[in-house]
Amino acid sequence: MTYCLGIKTNEGLVGLADTRITSGSETTTSKKVYTVNKPKHSFFIMTSGLRSVRDKAITYFNEVIEEEDDSFDKLYKAANKFSEQVKRVAKEDRANLEESGFKFNLYAIVGGQLQRDEEPKLFLLYPEGNWIEVGYSTPFVIIGNTGFGHPILRRSITCNETLEYALRSAFLSFDATRLSANDVGYPLDTVILRKDTYKIIEHRFDEKELEHISEYWNESLRNSINHMPADALDQALFPTDITPIKLTS
């Protein structure tokens, strides 16, 4: 499984992806973020699904980038070209995969800003090759293991957040998923794209670099529970006028 997350705010984009690859009892790591950085032309693609399908689609798309990238002046055009490669791989491999009991299930998050985009864009691409744009009403999208990291983002993220705040929330959503699912884990790849800079900043973190944040968050949650204004709960279920009954033999 995978955990990939894209967040869009008024300041730009945050992307985050785990690197764990699980095959049977074997666990390896593999980068799930593909980036293109050129003057006034920066975008990234994060993927979730069968590794063979992902690698083939990215290989095909890399050839497209070598030949046609300069013709892309809006991000949706690059997203359309990547979707064409996904459809190409599906046409070549879907039948054989399904005969072997596998499902063709490549999802992708495409984010970036090209020279004619007024602001950074974020798209969710489906295995069928169609896509939707992520807007400000729900300014984030997850692919892969979506359940465990979703609640913290629902509570914390709006389009008005700083990129620093969005990155911290993104990490907490990953951390919640990592603790709950053994097929998601470090190292952690992150990308930041600030509006109108056309420069993606990438960094890979290992667990030792970030474990103190996880420990701080765990302790903060425990302290917050102890200091909750929970009188309504306590008064209803822990009344003070009930005396424990002592049983005698």
In which domain, by residue range, is 85 found?
Answer: 3-226
Quote the DSSP letter at residue 101. T
- Determine the 3-state secondary structure of 212 from DSSP: helix
Q: Is the peptide bond before 187 cis (omega within 30 degrees of 0)?
A: yes
- Name the phi and psi angles at 228, rounded to 5: -65, 140
Residue ranges, the chain, pLDDT below 50: none
Paired tokens of 64 = 């497209």
Using left for φ > 0, alpha for ψ between -120 and 50, and beta otherwise, residue 232 falls in alpha
Helix (H) or strand (E) holding 9: strand 3-9
Q: Where are the alpha helices (DSSP H) in the chain?
A: 51-68, 75-99, 150-156, 163-180, 207-226, 231-237
Residue 209 lies in a domain: yes
Confidence (pLDDT) at 23: 66
**The tokens of 31 are what?**
């980068």
Joined together, the tokens standing for residue 45 give 């693609």
Answer whether residue 135 is part of any domain: yes
Nearest CA to 169 out of 181, 151, 188 is that of: 151
Count of structural domains, the chain: 1
pLDDT above 90 as % of the chain: 86
Tell me the DSSP string of 21-33: EEETTEEEE---E
Residue 239 inside a domain? The answer is: no
Report pLDDT for 64.
Answer: 96
Residue at 77 is within a domain? yes
Residue 231, in any domain of the structure: no
Give tens-digit pLDDT for 116-146: 999 999 999 999 999 999 999 999 999 999 9
Q: Give phi and psi for 127, each to the nearest 5.
A: -60, -25
Examine residue 48 and state whether it is found in any structural domain, yes or no. Answer: yes
pTM of the model: 0.93
Establish if 247 belongs to a structural domain: no
CATH assignment of the domain containing 171:
3.60.20.10
Domain-embedded: residue 241: no
